[in-house]
Amino acid sequence: MTQKVLKVGSSAAVTIPKKSLEELGLKIGDRITIEVDKRRKTVLIRPTSRVDKKLLDWTGKFIERYRPALEALAKK
């Protein structure tokens, strides 16, 4: 399949066909990871690992729970 690079503001975008989104298990609003292989001139798109989301959620809860102690440590 061939896609066109589109101008979006001062950036660029490439659309992902609905069938490809379904094959990747992606939906609008999902976060993705993009890896560029300069040597091969390829781009790899994959869903961001769910472990990352769990880690982010855990980190957020940790920060909220220990915010006073973390702020005190930052002042030292």
Enumerate domains of the chain plus CATH numbers.
6-75 (2.10.260)
- Per residue in 1-16, pLDDT tens? 889 999 999 999 999 9
Q: In whole angstroms, what separates CA 19 from the centre of its chain?
A: 20
Cβ atoms of residues 25 and 18 within 8 Å = no
Is pTM beyond 0.85 here? no
- Per residue in 34-76, pLDDT tens? 999 999 999 998 888 766 678 888 999 999 999 999 999 999 8
Looking at residue 49, what DSSP letter applies? P
Q: Which two tokens stand for residue 62?
A: 């940790």
